[in-house]
A and B are shown apart, each in its own frame.
Chain A
Amino acid sequence: MPSSPISAAWANNMGKGRILALLLAALGAAPGAAETLGDATKGAAVFDKQCKQCHMIGEGAKTRIGPVLNGIYGRRAGAVDGFNYSKSMARMGADGLDWTIERLDAYIENPKALVSGTRMNYRGLSDPDQRHDLMAFLRDYSDQPQNIPESEPTALRTVPDLAPDILALQGDPEYGEYLSAECTTCHQKDGSADGIPSITNWPEEDFVAAMHAYKVKLRPHPVMQMMAGRLSNEEIAALAAYYAKIEN
Chain B
Amino acid sequence: MTLNRRLFLATLTATLAAPMVQAQTRPRVVVVGGGAGGATIARYLAKDAKGALDVVLIEPARTYYTCFFSNLYLGGFRTFESLGHTYGKLAADYGINVVHDYAVGVDRDAKIVTLASGVALAYDRLVLSPGIDFVEDSVPGWSTASQNAMPHAYKGGSQTQLLMAQLAAMPQGGTFAMVAPPNPYRCPPGPYERISMVAHHLKTNNPTAKILLLDPKDKYSKQGLFEEGWNKHYPGMITRIGPDMGGNAIEVRPDTMEVIVDGDAEKVDVCNVIPAQRAGNIAMLAGVTDANWAPVHPDSMLSKMDENIYVLGDATNQGDMPKSGFSANSQAKVAANHIRGALTGSKVFPAKYSNTCWSLITTDDGVKVGASYEPTPEKIASVESFVSQTGEDAALRKATYEESLGWYTGITTDMFG
Listed in ascending order, the chain A residues whose CB lies under 8 Å from chain B are: 174-175, 178-179, 181-182, 184-188, 192-196, 222-223, 225-227, 229-230
Contacts and interface: CB of A to CB of B under 8 A. Distances in A.
Given A185-B326, A185-B414, A223-B356, A196 B407 contact: yes
B410 A187 contact: yes
B289 interface: no
Contacts of A174: 347
Contact of B330 (A182, A187, A223, A230): A182
Given A178-B337, A223-B356, A188 B386 contact: no
Contacts of A230: 352, 372, 374, 383-384
B409 interface: yes
Contact of A182 (B347, B354, B384): B354
A194 B409 contact: yes
A225 B414 contact: no
A181 B336 CA distance: 11
B405 A194 contact: yes
Interface of B: 44, 326, 329-330, 333, 337, 347, 349, 352, 354, 356, 368, 370-372, 374, 383-386, 402-407, 409-411, 413-414
A185 B330 contact: yes
Contacts of B383: 230
B406 A181 contact: no
8 contacts: A175-B349, A182-B352, A185-B326, A185-B329, A186-B410, A192-B409, A223-B386, A229-B372
B333 A182 contact: yes
A195 B403 contact: yes
Nearest to A123: B402
A40 to B, nearest CB: 26
A185 B352 contact: no
Nearest to B410: A186
Nearest to B408: A195
Given A186-B406, A195-B407, A230-B384, A222 B370 contact: yes
A184 B414 contact: yes
A164 B6 CA distance: 48
B386 A186 contact: no
Nearest to A229: B384
Given A195-B406, A196-B409, 20 more contacts: A174-B347, A181-B333, A182-B330, A184-B414, A185-B326, A185-B354, A185-B407, A185-B411, A194-B406, A195-B405, A195-B407, A196-B403, A196-B407, A196-B410, A223-B368, A226-B370, A226-B372, A226-B385, A226-B386, A230-B352
A222 B44 contact: no
Contacts of A187: 410
B410 A223 contact: no
Contacts of B337: 178
A139 B371 CA distance: 45
A106 B236 CA distance: 46
A187 B413 CA distance: 10
Contacts of B407: 185-186, 195-196
Nearest to A187: B410
A226 B406 contact: no
A184 to B, nearest CB: 5
